[in-house]
Structure formats: structure tokens, C-alpha cells
Chains A and B, each alone.
Chain A
Amino acid sequence: SQKIEQNSEALNIQEGKTATLTCNYTNYSPAYLQWYRQDPGRGPVFLLLIRENEKEKRKERLKVTFDTTLKQSLFHITASQPADSATYLCAPTDSWGKLQFGAGTQVVVTP
């Protein structure tokens, strides 16, 4: 069955450092992979999309990579700030084109 794995342990990081989150998927080949941010008690907010033929995508302090051989996407937040504290969800499209969401990784940035 199709499976998405994100690190369930919270990532604690000091302000100014780079946070790196991992998303691994198995048993399928997504054409797209999206990343969302979710704050407690709120709906997710779209951040970035990367296509299967793209290796890397950037948006301001965010960077996403997509390795279809390793079946993995990495999400980087550079120069992290306390306002970046949230849960980050990985969402590859499945074989039928629907988004499948990982459970998310919580990031805590301390001053």
C-alpha cells in the first residue's frame, strides 16, 4: 500500500539555523509533491509544489528537493525564526492524482 513517512518527533532548532525535514514515500511514484504549513487548530496553508522532473524549488527562505530515485523530499527552512514554528505536512499526489498527506513534523524554533 502507498505510505508516507515524516519524522514524528518534533524538530527543535535555534533561531537562525536551518531546519531540514524529511518526507519518504513508498509504493508509488507521485507526479507532484506539495508542502503545507499547519498551525494548531487551523487549516493547512500551501507553501510549495515540486514536480517529478524538478530537483529543487525555492521560495524565499524555503527550499524543497525531490529525489524520485530515493523516493524522498527534503524541506529546508533557512535562517529560521520563531514565527516558523508550526507543523509541516508533506503531500505527494497518489496514483489517482489525489493528495495524500503525511502526519507532519512539528518544528519549534527557539530564540
Chain B
Amino acid sequence: DGGITQSPKYLFRKEGQNVTLSCEQNLNHDAMYWYRQDPGQGLRLIYYSQIVNDFQKGDIAEGYSVSREKKESFPLTVTSAQKNPTAFYLCASSIGATHKGNEQFFGPGTRLTVL
């Protein structure tokens, strides 16, 4: 059963702690993405990776870090430097880069709340 999974679904964090959100896909997609969604706003791109061992900053990368050691995995770490981390985080993948018009497949999301 192909798809993209994120875990956990809900995550609570104390201020000052780093936390890592998991994203795994078995679609054999080259490109993966992390977005943040806040109420009333569109999805904002945090980081993206078009190939293993390579990734680029998106529009709001400050306070976040990623790695892409395996094609199927693209974990996101929310660091204590992120000023307002409470949000809904979405991971996505596409068969190739979106500049070629490729659609993105999204995971179910992780809702992070900082206490």
C-alpha cells in the first residue's frame, strides 16, 4: 500500500526543546517537502529536497533543520530557535521537481503544540 506517512499525529513540546517530526514515503519519489500551515494562511515551504543527500531552504527555514540520508525519509527538526513553532506540519513528496508540473502527495500531518 503506497503512501506517505507522518508521525506522530499530535506532538507536545516544552519551550526550549528540540523535536523531530518523521516523514516516510514508499512511493519511490525523488522530491520531498516540508510545509507549515497556520490558521487562515496558505502552506508555507520550510525545506525541500530533490535528491538524496541534498536539500534547500524554503521560504521560512529559520529555526528548522532537515536531513535526507535515505530516499524514503525526510525528517524535520524543530529547534528551540523557532520562535513560534505551534502549527500543523505537512510533509509531501513528488515524483520529480514541481517546476515540471508534478503533483505533490501529502502525508496526514503532525500537529505540534508548544506548551
Contacts and interface: CB of A to CB of B under 8 A. Distances in A.
Interface residues of B, number: 25
A100 B106 contact: no
Contacts of A104: 42
A17 interface: no
A10 interface: no
Contact of B101 (A8, A51, A103): A51
Contact of A101 (B42, B97, B103): B42
Contacts of B32: none
Which of B103, B107, B108 gathers most chain A CB within 10 Å? Answer: B103
Interface string B37-74: 00011111100100000000010000000000000000
A51 B98 CA distance: 12
Contacts of B41: 103
Contacts of B104: 34, 44, 46, 99
A4 B106 contact: no
Contacts of A102: 42
Contacts of B97: 97
Contacts of B98: 32, 93, 97-99
A43 B36 CA distance: 11
A31 B101 contact: yes
A77 to B, nearest CB: 19
A49 B103 CA distance: 8
B96 to A, nearest CB: 11
B40 A41 contact: no
Contact of A46 (B40, B103, B109): B103
Nearest to A43: B106
Contacts of B101: 31-32, 49, 51, 93
* Closest A-B pairs by Cβ, 4 of them: A97-B99, A43-B106, A101-B42, A101-B43
25 contacts: A31-B99, A34-B103, A41-B88, A41-B111, A43-B90, A43-B107, A43-B108, A43-B109, A44-B43, A44-B90, A45-B106, A46-B104, A49-B101, A51-B101, A89-B42, A93-B98, A93-B101, A97-B97, A97-B98, A97-B99, A99-B45, A99-B98, A99-B104, A102-B42, A103-B40
